[in-house]
Homo-oligomer: A and B are copies of this chain.
């Protein structure tokens, strides 16, 4: 068995190695966890001992096959709980993450299978991220920033890259949230700002800066 801390590490290593570059660095993890490089070294040695990661001193880590399986399963659990929180309990999409961060560590497999069924086998979570099935399979959704759309294009917002609270509440107020349908009415070449139609109901003008932080599919 693995602890909640170990599960969190696996999930984050998976996240950081999910792009092109495969190895994950000690300082990267330390910064992410608001921890110290020495604590990370400690944990990487532990995970290596459990054959969950491939770890070379001074070089970096990657997930082993065993570790990758586990990481994907934890991501599955996390995202299913997020769907439950949003769809069944009525939490907003930006409230579910910290709660799911705890729920994902409840260990029962039967629980997750039944939850999956109860939710009618959802494919994406409230942030637009794909949910792996029980075999760990999922297809990464093709995403692009809103700023790359052309005039007339329609898309669904699937994610918002923002941690700033004032920006988040601004986006929320104007329904620039995951799930909303948008149409690009006009693109102003002089500053990259755009006019949008949101859910066929409301027009809005946003800067290029903000448009780059709204990810659509």
Identify the A interface with B (CB < 8 A): 85, 88-91, 95, 98-99, 102-103, 105-108, 110-111, 114-115, 118
Q: How far is the CB of A40 from chain B (nearest CB, A)?
A: 23
List the B side residues contacting A102 at CB < 8 Å: 105-108
A115 to B88, CA, bound (A): 9
The residue that A111 contacts in the complex, of B89, B111, B115, with Cβ under 8 A, is: B89
Q: Which of A85, A91, A105, A111 has the most CB of B within 10 A?
A: A111
Per assembly, the copies of the chain total: 2
A interface majority secondary structure: helix
The residue that A88 contacts in the complex, of B103, B108, B110, B118, with Cβ under 8 A, is: B118
Q: How far is the CB of A108 from chain B (nearest CB, A)?
A: 5
Is there an interface contact between A99 and B89, defined as CB atoms closer than 8 Å? no
Is there an interface contact between A99 and B108, defined as CB atoms closer than 8 Å? yes
A115 to B85, CA, bound (A): 9
Q: Assuming A95-B110, A106-B106, what are 4 further A-B pairs, CB within 8 angstroms?
A: A89-B114, A89-B115, A98-B108, A103-B103
Known: A99-B111, A111-B99. Is A89-B118 also a contact (CB below 8 A)? yes
Is there an interface contact between A85 and B111, defined as CB atoms closer than 8 Å? yes
List the B side residues contacting A115 at CB < 8 Å: 89
List the B side residues contacting A99 at CB < 8 Å: 106, 108, 111
List the B side residues contacting A88 at CB < 8 Å: 118
A107 to B98, CA, bound (A): 10
Closest Cβ neighbor of A85 among chain B residues: B111
List the B side residues contacting A91 at CB < 8 Å: 110, 114
